[in-house]
A and B are shown apart, each in its own frame.
Chain A
Amino acid sequence: MTTTKTNDIEAKVIAIVCEQLDVRAEDVSPGKTFTEDLGADSLAIVELVLAFEEAFSLKIPDNEVDNIKTVGNAIDYIKKNASGAN
Protein backbone atom coordinates (compact mmCIF):
# COMPACT_ATOMS: atom_id res chain seq x y z
CA MET A 1 0.00 0.00 0.00
CA THR A 2 1.41 3.40 -0.95
CA THR A 3 1.69 6.36 1.41
CA THR A 4 -0.88 8.23 -0.62
CA LYS A 5 -3.38 5.44 -0.11
CA THR A 6 -2.63 5.36 3.60
CA ASN A 7 -3.21 9.10 3.88
CA ASP A 8 -6.38 8.76 1.84
CA ILE A 9 -7.72 6.22 4.32
CA GLU A 10 -6.90 8.50 7.24
CA ALA A 11 -8.59 11.48 5.60
CA LYS A 12 -11.61 9.43 4.67
CA VAL A 13 -12.00 8.01 8.20
CA ILE A 14 -11.80 11.50 9.66
CA ALA A 15 -14.36 12.78 7.16
CA ILE A 16 -16.75 9.96 8.08
CA VAL A 17 -16.27 10.59 11.80
CA CYS A 18 -17.00 14.30 11.28
CA GLU A 19 -20.12 13.55 9.28
CA GLN A 20 -21.51 10.83 11.55
CA LEU A 21 -20.75 12.42 14.91
CA ASP A 22 -21.18 16.03 13.80
CA VAL A 23 -17.76 17.09 15.05
CA ARG A 24 -15.14 19.39 13.48
CA ALA A 25 -12.11 17.94 11.70
CA GLU A 26 -9.73 19.85 13.97
CA ASP A 27 -11.21 17.99 16.94
CA VAL A 28 -10.58 14.59 15.37
CA SER A 29 -7.14 13.02 15.79
CA PRO A 30 -5.93 9.41 16.13
CA GLY A 31 -5.80 9.58 19.92
CA LYS A 32 -9.42 10.64 20.38
CA THR A 33 -11.88 8.10 21.76
CA PHE A 34 -15.27 7.86 20.10
CA THR A 35 -17.23 7.77 23.33
CA GLU A 36 -15.51 10.05 25.86
CA ASP A 37 -13.88 12.53 23.47
CA LEU A 38 -16.27 12.62 20.53
CA GLY A 39 -19.61 12.02 22.29
CA ALA A 40 -20.72 8.82 20.56
CA ASP A 41 -23.14 6.47 22.29
CA SER A 42 -23.41 2.75 21.52
CA LEU A 43 -25.88 3.30 18.67
CA ALA A 44 -23.67 5.99 17.13
CA ILE A 45 -20.72 3.59 17.16
CA VAL A 46 -22.78 0.94 15.35
CA GLU A 47 -23.72 3.54 12.74
CA LEU A 48 -20.11 4.67 12.44
CA VAL A 49 -18.88 1.12 11.90
CA LEU A 50 -21.51 0.56 9.21
CA ALA A 51 -20.37 3.77 7.51
CA PHE A 52 -16.74 2.53 7.55
CA GLU A 53 -17.87 -0.78 6.12
CA GLU A 54 -19.70 0.89 3.26
CA ALA A 55 -16.92 3.37 2.52
CA PHE A 56 -14.11 0.80 2.52
CA SER A 57 -16.04 -2.24 1.27
CA LEU A 58 -15.18 -4.40 4.24
CA LYS A 59 -16.97 -6.12 7.09
CA ILE A 60 -15.92 -5.42 10.65
CA PRO A 61 -16.96 -8.34 12.91
CA ASP A 62 -18.66 -7.41 16.19
CA ASN A 63 -15.76 -8.76 18.28
CA GLU A 64 -13.41 -6.42 16.39
CA VAL A 65 -15.74 -3.46 16.93
CA ASP A 66 -15.14 -3.79 20.66
CA ASN A 67 -11.43 -3.04 20.06
CA ILE A 68 -12.05 0.06 17.97
CA LYS A 69 -12.20 2.68 20.67
CA THR A 70 -10.23 5.51 19.11
CA VAL A 71 -9.97 7.17 15.72
CA GLY A 72 -6.49 5.66 15.48
CA ASN A 73 -7.85 2.15 16.15
CA ALA A 74 -10.27 2.59 13.26
CA ILE A 75 -7.58 3.88 10.89
CA ASP A 76 -5.25 1.00 11.79
CA TYR A 77 -7.95 -1.62 11.42
CA ILE A 78 -9.02 -0.29 8.03
CA LYS A 79 -5.44 0.02 6.77
CA LYS A 80 -4.84 -3.60 7.71
CA ASN A 81 -8.09 -5.00 6.35
CA ALA A 82 -9.04 -2.81 3.40
CA SER A 83 -6.12 -3.46 1.08
CA GLY A 84 -8.55 -3.55 -1.82
CA ALA A 85 -10.16 -0.26 -0.89
CA ASN A 86 -9.45 2.94 -2.82
Chain B
Amino acid sequence: MLAPPREAAVSTRRVVITGMGVLSPLGIGVDENWRRLCAGDSGIGPITRFDVTDYPTKIAGEVRGFEPTKWIAKKEIRQMDLFIQYGIAGAALAFADAGLDQAPVADPERFGVFVGAGLGGLATLESTIAALTEKGPRHGISPYFVPAIIVNLAAGQISIRHGAKGPNLSHVSACSTGAHSIGEAFRTIVHGTADVMIAGGTESTVTPLGIGGFCSSRALSTRNDEPTRASRPFSASRDGFVLSEGCGILVLEELGHARARGAKIHAEIVGYGLSADAYHITLPPPGGEGAQRCMKMALRDAGIAPEQVGYINAHGTSTVADLTETQAIRAVFGGHSERLAVSSTKSMHGHLLGAAGGLEAAISVLALKHGILPPTINLDDPDPGCDLDYVPHVARATQVEYAMSNSFGFGGTNAALIFRRGEF
Protein backbone atom coordinates (compact mmCIF):
# COMPACT_ATOMS: atom_id res chain seq x y z
CA MET B 1 0.00 0.00 0.00
CA LEU B 2 2.17 2.79 -1.29
CA ALA B 3 1.40 6.45 -0.73
CA PRO B 4 0.43 8.44 -3.83
CA PRO B 5 3.44 9.87 -5.65
CA ARG B 6 4.80 13.14 -4.42
CA GLU B 7 4.79 16.17 -6.67
CA ALA B 8 8.26 16.37 -8.21
CA ALA B 9 9.13 13.22 -6.36
CA VAL B 10 12.81 12.44 -6.12
CA SER B 11 12.39 9.42 -3.92
CA THR B 12 9.83 6.87 -2.84
CA ARG B 13 11.34 6.55 0.61
CA ARG B 14 8.65 6.73 3.30
CA VAL B 15 9.20 8.07 6.78
CA VAL B 16 7.55 6.97 10.02
CA ILE B 17 7.55 8.15 13.60
CA THR B 18 9.07 5.51 15.89
CA GLY B 19 9.79 7.54 19.02
CA MET B 20 8.42 10.53 20.90
CA GLY B 21 9.67 12.45 23.94
CA VAL B 22 7.95 15.53 25.37
CA LEU B 23 8.25 17.81 28.38
CA SER B 24 5.60 20.45 28.93
CA PRO B 25 3.69 22.20 31.70
CA LEU B 26 1.35 19.20 31.52
CA GLY B 27 4.07 16.81 32.57
CA ILE B 28 7.17 14.87 31.67
CA GLY B 29 6.82 12.19 29.03
CA VAL B 30 4.16 11.30 26.46
CA ASP B 31 1.87 9.32 28.77
CA GLU B 32 1.37 12.06 31.36
CA ASN B 33 0.91 14.70 28.65
CA TRP B 34 -1.60 12.64 26.71
CA ARG B 35 -3.61 11.72 29.81
CA ARG B 36 -3.94 15.37 30.79
CA LEU B 37 -4.64 16.53 27.22
CA CYS B 38 -7.51 14.05 26.99
CA ALA B 39 -8.78 15.24 30.38
CA GLY B 40 -8.78 18.86 29.24
CA ASP B 41 -6.37 19.93 31.99
CA SER B 42 -4.44 23.17 31.97
CA GLY B 43 -0.75 23.26 32.91
CA ILE B 44 -0.66 27.04 33.36
CA GLY B 45 0.07 28.61 36.76
CA PRO B 46 1.79 31.49 38.56
CA ILE B 47 5.41 32.13 37.58
CA THR B 48 7.76 30.73 40.25
CA ARG B 49 11.15 31.33 38.59
CA PHE B 50 11.57 35.03 39.37
CA ASP B 51 9.92 37.96 41.12
CA VAL B 52 7.11 39.08 38.83
CA THR B 53 6.08 42.13 40.85
CA ASP B 54 6.92 44.62 38.11
CA TYR B 55 5.68 42.51 35.19
CA PRO B 56 2.13 42.87 33.85
CA THR B 57 2.04 39.10 33.17
CA LYS B 58 2.53 36.91 36.23
CA ILE B 59 1.57 33.51 34.80
CA ALA B 60 3.25 30.97 32.53
CA GLY B 61 3.49 27.29 31.76
CA GLU B 62 6.50 26.03 33.68
CA VAL B 63 7.74 22.44 33.51
CA ARG B 64 7.32 21.04 37.02
CA GLY B 65 9.29 18.30 38.74
CA PHE B 66 12.14 18.22 36.21
CA GLU B 67 15.12 16.36 37.67
CA PRO B 68 18.02 16.89 35.26
CA THR B 69 20.24 14.35 37.05
CA LYS B 70 18.05 11.60 35.60
CA TRP B 71 19.62 12.39 32.22
CA ILE B 72 22.67 14.58 32.79
CA ALA B 73 25.76 14.21 35.01
CA LYS B 74 25.72 16.64 37.91
CA LYS B 75 28.84 18.55 36.86
CA GLU B 76 27.44 19.06 33.34
CA ILE B 77 24.16 20.59 34.46
CA ARG B 78 25.62 24.01 35.20
CA GLN B 79 27.40 23.95 31.85
CA MET B 80 24.15 24.19 29.88
CA ASP B 81 21.05 26.33 29.87
CA LEU B 82 17.74 24.75 30.82
CA PHE B 83 16.57 24.57 27.18
CA ILE B 84 19.47 22.22 26.40
CA GLN B 85 18.67 20.11 29.47
CA TYR B 86 15.07 19.78 28.30
CA GLY B 87 16.27 18.83 24.82
CA ILE B 88 18.57 16.14 26.18
CA ALA B 89 15.77 14.72 28.34
CA GLY B 90 13.21 14.79 25.52
CA ALA B 91 15.61 13.18 23.07
CA ALA B 92 16.48 10.46 25.59
CA LEU B 93 12.77 9.73 26.10
CA ALA B 94 12.18 9.60 22.34
CA PHE B 95 15.27 7.45 21.81
CA ALA B 96 14.09 4.96 24.44
CA ASP B 97 10.54 5.00 23.06
CA ALA B 98 12.00 4.04 19.68
CA GLY B 99 13.84 1.12 21.29
CA LEU B 100 17.15 2.57 20.14
CA ASP B 101 18.56 2.42 23.67
CA GLN B 102 18.40 -1.38 23.35
CA ALA B 103 20.07 -1.71 19.95
CA PRO B 104 22.14 1.09 18.39
CA VAL B 105 21.46 2.55 14.94
CA ALA B 106 23.31 0.28 12.52
CA ASP B 107 25.08 3.09 10.66
CA PRO B 108 25.70 6.09 12.94
CA GLU B 109 26.64 8.25 9.94
CA ARG B 110 23.05 7.90 8.71
CA PHE B 111 21.66 8.96 12.08
CA GLY B 112 21.21 12.72 12.59
CA VAL B 113 19.75 15.37 14.86
CA PHE B 114 17.70 18.44 13.88
CA VAL B 115 16.67 20.06 17.16
CA GLY B 116 16.22 23.82 17.30
CA ALA B 117 15.08 26.53 19.69
CA GLY B 118 13.45 29.87 19.09
CA LEU B 119 15.51 32.00 21.44
CA GLY B 120 18.25 29.92 23.12
CA GLY B 121 19.64 30.28 26.63
CA LEU B 122 18.07 33.46 27.97
CA ALA B 123 18.40 32.53 31.66
CA THR B 124 22.13 31.92 31.31
CA LEU B 125 22.54 35.11 29.29
CA GLU B 126 20.78 37.10 32.02
CA SER B 127 22.74 35.59 34.93
CA THR B 128 26.01 36.02 33.04
CA ILE B 129 25.37 39.69 32.33
CA ALA B 130 24.62 40.18 36.04
CA ALA B 131 27.84 38.38 37.00
CA LEU B 132 29.84 40.32 34.41
CA THR B 133 28.58 43.59 35.87
CA GLU B 134 29.43 42.47 39.39
CA LYS B 135 32.72 40.61 38.90
CA GLY B 136 34.08 41.75 35.55
CA PRO B 137 34.94 39.61 32.52
CA ARG B 138 37.50 37.23 34.06
CA HIS B 139 35.35 35.92 36.89
CA GLY B 140 31.93 36.96 35.62
CA ILE B 141 31.89 34.83 32.46
CA SER B 142 32.08 31.05 32.67
CA PRO B 143 34.19 29.20 30.10
CA TYR B 144 30.95 27.31 29.43
CA PHE B 145 28.97 30.48 28.69
CA VAL B 146 28.96 30.15 24.90
CA PRO B 147 28.23 26.41 24.72
CA ALA B 148 25.59 26.92 27.43
CA ILE B 149 23.51 29.39 25.47
CA ILE B 150 23.87 28.84 21.72
CA VAL B 151 20.89 27.25 20.03
CA ASN B 152 22.67 24.41 18.24
CA LEU B 153 24.15 23.00 21.44
CA ALA B 154 20.89 21.14 22.05
CA ALA B 155 21.44 19.24 18.81
CA GLY B 156 25.15 18.96 19.59
CA GLN B 157 24.63 17.55 23.08
CA ILE B 158 22.03 15.08 21.79
CA SER B 159 24.38 13.85 19.06
CA ILE B 160 27.18 13.34 21.60
CA ARG B 161 24.92 11.35 23.92
CA HIS B 162 23.46 9.08 21.25
CA GLY B 163 26.39 8.79 18.85
CA ALA B 164 24.46 10.43 16.00
CA LYS B 165 27.19 11.15 13.46
CA GLY B 166 24.94 12.18 10.57
CA PRO B 167 23.37 15.57 9.70
CA ASN B 168 23.29 17.93 12.68
CA LEU B 169 21.45 21.25 12.45
CA SER B 170 19.37 23.61 14.52
CA HIS B 171 16.75 25.43 12.54
CA VAL B 172 15.66 28.71 14.10
CA SER B 173 12.28 30.04 12.99
CA ALA B 174 10.67 31.41 16.16
CA CYS B 175 7.41 29.57 16.91
CA SER B 176 7.75 27.40 13.79
CA THR B 177 11.13 25.97 14.85
CA GLY B 178 9.89 22.58 16.04
CA ALA B 179 7.74 21.99 12.96
CA HIS B 180 10.43 23.12 10.55
CA SER B 181 12.95 20.84 12.27
CA ILE B 182 10.66 17.84 11.85
CA GLY B 183 9.80 18.78 8.26
CA GLU B 184 13.44 19.19 7.33
CA ALA B 185 14.33 15.89 9.01
CA PHE B 186 11.54 14.23 7.01
CA ARG B 187 13.04 15.62 3.81
CA THR B 188 16.54 14.58 4.82
CA ILE B 189 15.38 10.98 5.14
CA VAL B 190 13.30 11.10 1.94
CA HIS B 191 16.30 12.54 0.12
CA GLY B 192 18.41 9.60 1.29
CA THR B 193 20.93 11.48 3.43
CA ALA B 194 19.90 9.72 6.65
CA ASP B 195 17.78 6.80 7.84
CA VAL B 196 17.06 7.94 11.39
CA MET B 197 16.63 11.50 12.66
CA ILE B 198 15.97 12.90 16.12
CA ALA B 199 13.99 16.07 15.39
CA GLY B 200 11.98 18.75 17.13
CA GLY B 201 12.30 21.83 19.30
CA THR B 202 13.19 22.77 22.84
CA GLU B 203 12.72 26.04 24.72
CA SER B 204 13.01 27.61 28.14
CA THR B 205 12.30 31.32 28.28
CA VAL B 206 10.25 31.80 31.44
CA THR B 207 12.78 34.44 32.50
CA PRO B 208 12.70 38.20 33.03
CA LEU B 209 13.81 38.84 29.43
CA GLY B 210 11.50 36.23 27.92
CA ILE B 211 8.37 37.28 29.81
CA GLY B 212 9.37 40.96 29.75
CA GLY B 213 10.09 40.93 26.03
CA PHE B 214 6.71 39.51 25.08
CA CYS B 215 5.01 41.76 27.67
CA SER B 216 6.67 44.71 26.02
CA SER B 217 5.22 43.76 22.65
CA ARG B 218 1.80 43.29 24.36
CA ALA B 219 1.64 39.68 23.20
CA LEU B 220 0.94 37.96 26.54
CA SER B 221 -2.29 37.34 28.42
CA THR B 222 -2.60 39.25 31.68
CA ARG B 223 -5.40 37.08 33.04
CA ASN B 224 -3.24 36.60 36.15
CA ASP B 225 -6.09 35.76 38.52
CA GLU B 226 -7.25 32.83 36.37
CA PRO B 227 -4.10 31.12 35.07
CA THR B 228 -5.80 27.95 33.87
CA ARG B 229 -8.32 30.00 31.90
CA ALA B 230 -5.81 32.44 30.41
CA SER B 231 -4.96 30.55 27.22
CA ARG B 232 -8.28 30.67 25.36
CA PRO B 233 -7.70 30.30 21.62
CA PHE B 234 -10.55 31.33 19.29
CA SER B 235 -12.58 32.91 22.10
CA ALA B 236 -13.81 36.50 21.96
CA SER B 237 -12.25 37.24 25.35
CA ARG B 238 -8.72 36.04 24.47
CA ASP B 239 -6.10 38.59 25.45
CA GLY B 240 -2.77 37.17 24.35
CA PHE B 241 -0.78 33.96 24.57
CA VAL B 242 0.61 32.26 27.66
CA LEU B 243 4.36 31.66 27.50
CA SER B 244 5.39 28.08 28.22
CA GLU B 245 8.47 25.92 28.08
CA GLY B 246 9.51 22.36 27.41
CA CYS B 247 10.36 20.29 24.38
CA GLY B 248 8.80 18.09 21.74
CA ILE B 249 11.12 15.63 20.05
CA LEU B 250 10.40 12.81 17.61
CA VAL B 251 12.41 9.97 16.16
CA LEU B 252 11.79 9.87 12.40
CA GLU B 253 12.84 6.76 10.57
CA GLU B 254 12.81 5.40 7.05
CA LEU B 255 10.01 2.83 6.87
CA GLY B 256 12.20 -0.07 5.69
CA HIS B 257 14.77 0.68 8.39
CA ALA B 258 12.05 0.69 11.05
CA ARG B 259 10.53 -2.55 9.74
CA ALA B 260 13.91 -4.27 9.54
CA ARG B 261 14.55 -3.74 13.23
CA GLY B 262 10.96 -4.52 14.21
CA ALA B 263 10.33 -1.04 15.57
CA LYS B 264 6.94 0.02 16.88
CA ILE B 265 5.52 2.62 14.49
CA HIS B 266 3.31 5.42 15.80
CA ALA B 267 2.32 7.02 12.47
CA GLU B 268 3.72 8.10 9.12
CA ILE B 269 4.78 11.63 8.21
CA VAL B 270 3.59 12.29 4.68
CA GLY B 271 3.63 16.02 4.01
CA TYR B 272 5.54 19.19 4.78
CA GLY B 273 4.89 22.74 3.66
CA LEU B 274 6.77 25.93 4.42
CA SER B 275 6.35 29.50 3.34
CA ALA B 276 6.99 33.12 4.21
CA ASP B 277 4.35 35.84 4.55
CA ALA B 278 6.80 38.47 3.27
CA TYR B 279 4.55 40.96 4.99
CA HIS B 280 5.29 42.08 8.58
CA ILE B 281 7.63 41.11 11.45
CA THR B 282 4.87 39.98 13.82
CA LEU B 283 1.46 40.31 12.11
CA PRO B 284 -0.05 37.85 9.62
CA PRO B 285 -1.25 39.17 6.26
CA PRO B 286 -5.00 39.53 5.62
CA GLY B 287 -6.66 36.12 5.30
CA GLY B 288 -3.46 34.37 6.37
CA GLU B 289 -2.28 34.22 2.78
CA GLY B 290 1.14 32.84 3.75
CA ALA B 291 -0.41 30.18 5.98
CA GLN B 292 -2.74 29.19 3.15
CA ARG B 293 0.16 28.58 0.78
CA CYS B 294 1.95 26.64 3.49
CA MET B 295 -1.00 24.29 4.14
CA LYS B 296 -1.56 23.83 0.39
CA MET B 297 2.09 22.94 -0.10
CA ALA B 298 1.88 20.33 2.66
CA LEU B 299 -1.23 18.81 1.03
CA ARG B 300 0.53 18.66 -2.36
CA ASP B 301 3.60 17.17 -0.75
CA ALA B 302 1.45 14.48 0.86
CA GLY B 303 -0.39 13.91 -2.41
CA ILE B 304 -3.77 14.09 -0.71
CA ALA B 305 -6.96 16.10 -1.20
CA PRO B 306 -8.02 18.59 1.49
CA GLU B 307 -11.06 16.39 2.22
CA GLN B 308 -8.79 13.61 3.47
CA VAL B 309 -7.60 15.66 6.46
CA GLY B 310 -9.75 14.97 9.50
CA TYR B 311 -7.97 16.96 12.20
CA ILE B 312 -5.83 20.07 12.41
CA ASN B 313 -3.77 20.85 15.48
CA ALA B 314 -3.93 24.62 15.01
CA HIS B 315 -1.24 27.13 15.77
CA GLY B 316 -4.05 28.93 17.72
CA THR B 317 -2.05 30.97 20.22
CA SER B 318 -4.96 32.87 21.87
CA THR B 319 -4.12 36.10 20.03
CA VAL B 320 -5.74 38.09 17.22
CA ALA B 321 -4.05 35.73 14.75
CA ASP B 322 -6.51 32.93 15.68
CA LEU B 323 -9.01 34.66 13.43
CA THR B 324 -6.50 34.81 10.57
CA GLU B 325 -5.70 31.11 10.93
CA THR B 326 -9.42 30.32 10.86
CA GLN B 327 -9.78 32.31 7.63
CA ALA B 328 -6.75 30.56 6.14
CA ILE B 329 -8.17 27.12 7.01
CA ARG B 330 -11.50 28.09 5.42
CA ALA B 331 -9.72 29.25 2.27
CA VAL B 332 -7.72 26.03 1.92
CA PHE B 333 -10.35 23.49 2.96
CA GLY B 334 -13.47 25.16 1.50
CA GLY B 335 -16.68 23.25 2.27
CA HIS B 336 -14.67 20.57 4.09
CA SER B 337 -14.02 23.18 6.82
CA GLU B 338 -17.51 22.36 8.14
CA ARG B 339 -16.54 18.71 8.76
CA LEU B 340 -12.97 19.28 9.83
CA ALA B 341 -12.04 19.16 13.53
CA VAL B 342 -9.56 21.86 14.56
CA SER B 343 -8.20 22.23 18.08
CA SER B 344 -5.58 24.34 19.75
CA THR B 345 -3.94 22.34 22.50
CA LYS B 346 -2.13 25.55 23.47
CA SER B 347 -5.30 26.16 25.47
CA MET B 348 -3.88 23.51 27.84
CA HIS B 349 -0.08 23.62 27.53
CA GLY B 350 0.39 27.25 26.51
CA HIS B 351 2.84 28.41 23.86
CA LEU B 352 6.19 26.61 23.93
CA LEU B 353 7.64 28.91 21.23
CA GLY B 354 10.41 26.97 19.45
CA ALA B 355 9.25 23.73 21.07
CA ALA B 356 5.57 24.21 20.20
CA GLY B 357 5.74 22.58 16.77
CA GLY B 358 7.55 19.56 18.21
CA LEU B 359 5.08 19.04 21.04
CA GLU B 360 2.08 19.59 18.76
CA ALA B 361 3.46 17.20 16.15
CA ALA B 362 3.64 14.56 18.88
CA ILE B 363 0.08 15.39 19.93
CA SER B 364 -1.12 15.08 16.31
CA VAL B 365 0.52 11.66 16.08
CA LEU B 366 -1.10 10.60 19.36
CA ALA B 367 -4.50 11.79 18.11
CA LEU B 368 -4.16 9.54 15.04
CA LYS B 369 -2.82 6.64 17.03
CA HIS B 370 -5.46 6.68 19.77
CA GLY B 371 -8.41 7.93 17.71
CA ILE B 372 -8.96 10.77 20.16
CA LEU B 373 -8.96 14.46 19.30
CA PRO B 374 -7.73 16.62 22.18
CA PRO B 375 -9.94 19.64 22.90
CA THR B 376 -9.66 23.41 22.86
CA ILE B 377 -10.45 24.30 26.46
CA ASN B 378 -11.70 27.67 27.74
CA LEU B 379 -13.77 28.20 24.59
CA ASP B 380 -16.75 29.62 26.47
CA ASP B 381 -17.37 32.57 24.17
CA PRO B 382 -16.15 31.90 20.62
CA ASP B 383 -15.08 34.91 18.56
CA PRO B 384 -17.89 35.37 16.02
CA GLY B 385 -15.30 35.15 13.23
CA CYS B 386 -13.87 31.91 14.64
CA ASP B 387 -16.57 29.53 13.47
CA LEU B 388 -14.93 26.15 12.94
CA ASP B 389 -15.39 22.97 14.96
CA TYR B 390 -12.69 23.57 17.58
CA VAL B 391 -13.49 20.43 19.64
CA PRO B 392 -14.55 22.68 22.55
CA HIS B 393 -13.95 21.77 26.18
CA VAL B 394 -13.79 17.97 25.97
CA ALA B 395 -11.78 15.45 23.98
CA ARG B 396 -13.61 13.55 21.27
CA ALA B 397 -13.25 9.94 20.18
CA THR B 398 -12.91 10.20 16.40
CA GLN B 399 -10.65 8.13 14.19
CA VAL B 400 -9.17 10.27 11.44
CA GLU B 401 -6.74 9.18 8.72
CA TYR B 402 -4.71 12.36 8.28
CA ALA B 403 -3.82 15.08 10.79
CA MET B 404 -2.17 18.42 10.05
CA SER B 405 -0.12 20.47 12.52
CA ASN B 406 0.29 24.20 11.88
CA SER B 407 3.03 26.49 13.18
CA PHE B 408 3.50 30.16 12.37
CA GLY B 409 6.35 32.30 13.66
CA PHE B 410 7.50 35.88 14.05
CA GLY B 411 9.09 37.07 10.86
CA GLY B 412 6.17 35.59 8.96
CA THR B 413 7.59 32.06 8.75
CA ASN B 414 5.12 29.19 8.39
CA ALA B 415 5.29 25.40 8.61
CA ALA B 416 2.66 22.67 8.22
CA LEU B 417 3.15 18.96 8.76
CA ILE B 418 0.80 16.14 7.76
CA PHE B 419 0.76 12.76 9.50
CA ARG B 420 -1.05 9.61 8.43
CA ARG B 421 -2.47 6.93 10.65
CA GLY B 422 -1.23 3.55 9.66
CA GLU B 423 -1.14 -0.13 10.35
CA PHE B 424 2.42 -1.23 9.80
Residues of A within 8 A of B (CB): 20-22, 43-44, 46-47, 50, 53-54, 59
Report Cα–Cα, A47/B138, bound state, in Å: 10
Report Cα–Cα, A22/B73, bound state, in Å: 9
Residue in B73, B74, B138, B144 whose CB lies within 8 Å of A43: B144
Question: Are B143 and A43 in contact, CB atoms less than 8 angstroms apart?
Answer: yes
B138: chain A residues within 8 A (beta carbon): 50, 53, 59
Question: Are A50 and B139 in contact, CB atoms less than 8 angstroms apart?
Answer: yes
B79: chain A residues within 8 A (beta carbon): 43
Residue in A21, A46, A53, A54 whose CB lies within 8 Å of B75: A21
Question: Are A47 and B144 in contact, CB atoms less than 8 angstroms apart?
Answer: yes
- In the assembled complex, the CB of B314 is this many whole angstroms from the nearest CB of chain A, namely 43
A47: chain B residues within 8 A (beta carbon): 142-144
Give the number of A-B contacts (CB < 8 Å). Answer: 22
**Residue among B74, B75, B79, B142 with most chain A CB within 10 A:** B75
What 1/0 flags go to B115-147 for Cβ under 8 Å of A? 000000000000000000000001100111001
Main secondary structure of the interface of A (DSSP, over half): helix
Report Cα–Cα, A54/B142, bound state, in Å: 13
Report Cα–Cα, A20/B74, bound state, in Å: 10
Report Cα–Cα, A24/B147, bound state, in Å: 26
What 1/0 flags go to B61-74 for Cβ under 8 Å of A? 00000000000011
A50: chain B residues within 8 A (beta carbon): 138-139, 143
Closest to A51 in B: B139
Question: Are A22 and B142 in contact, CB atoms less than 8 angstroms apart?
Answer: no
A53: chain B residues within 8 A (beta carbon): 138-139
Report Cα–Cα, A43/B144, bound state, in Å: 7
- In the assembled complex, the CB of A13 is this many whole angstroms from the nearest CB of chain B, namely 17
Question: Are B143 and A22 in contact, CB atoms less than 8 angstroms apart?
Answer: no
Could you list 18 further interchain pairs (A-B, Cβ under 8 angstroms) beyond the known A43-B147, A53-B138? Answer: A20-B75, A21-B75, A22-B73, A43-B79, A43-B143, A43-B144, A44-B75, A44-B143, A46-B143, A47-B142, A47-B143, A47-B144, A50-B138, A50-B139, A50-B143, A53-B139, A54-B139, A59-B138
B144: chain A residues within 8 A (beta carbon): 43, 47
| Count of chain B residues with a beta carbon within 8 Å of a chain A beta carbon | 10
Within 8 A of A (CB), among B31-85: 73-75, 79
- In the assembled complex, the CB of A66 is this many whole angstroms from the nearest CB of chain B, namely 15
Report Cα–Cα, A20/B73, bound state, in Å: 12
Report Cα–Cα, A21/B73, bound state, in Å: 11
Report Cα–Cα, A53/B140, bound state, in Å: 12
Report Cα–Cα, A50/B51, bound state, in Å: 30
What 1/0 flags go to B147-169 for Cβ under 8 Å of A? 10000000000000000000000
- In the assembled complex, the CB of B72 is this many whole angstroms from the nearest CB of chain A, namely 11
Report Cα–Cα, A43/B139, bound state, in Å: 14
Question: Are B139 and A22 in contact, CB atoms less than 8 angstroms apart?
Answer: no
Q: Can you show 14 pairs from A to B with CB atoms below 8 A apart?
A: A21-B75, A22-B75, A43-B79, A43-B144, A43-B147, A44-B75, A44-B143, A46-B143, A50-B138, A50-B139, A53-B138, A53-B139, A54-B139, A59-B138
Report Cα–Cα, A53/B75, bound state, in Å: 19
- In the assembled complex, the CB of B71 is this many whole angstroms from the nearest CB of chain A, namely 15
Closest 6 CB pairs of A and B: A22-B75, A46-B143, A43-B143, A22-B74, A47-B143, A50-B139
Closest to A42 in B: B143
**Residue among A21, A22, A46 with most chain B CB within 10 A:** A22
A21: chain B residues within 8 A (beta carbon): 75
B143: chain A residues within 8 A (beta carbon): 43-44, 46-47, 50
Report Cα–Cα, A21/B75, bound state, in Å: 6
- In the assembled complex, the CB of B42 is this many whole angstroms from the nearest CB of chain A, namely 38
- In the assembled complex, the CB of B121 is this many whole angstroms from the nearest CB of chain A, namely 16
- In the assembled complex, the CB of B304 is this many whole angstroms from the nearest CB of chain A, namely 50
A59: chain B residues within 8 A (beta carbon): 138
Closest to B141 in A: A50
- In the assembled complex, the CB of A38 is this many whole angstroms from the nearest CB of chain B, namely 11
- In the assembled complex, the CB of A27 is this many whole angstroms from the nearest CB of chain B, namely 13
- In the assembled complex, the CB of B69 is this many whole angstroms from the nearest CB of chain A, namely 11
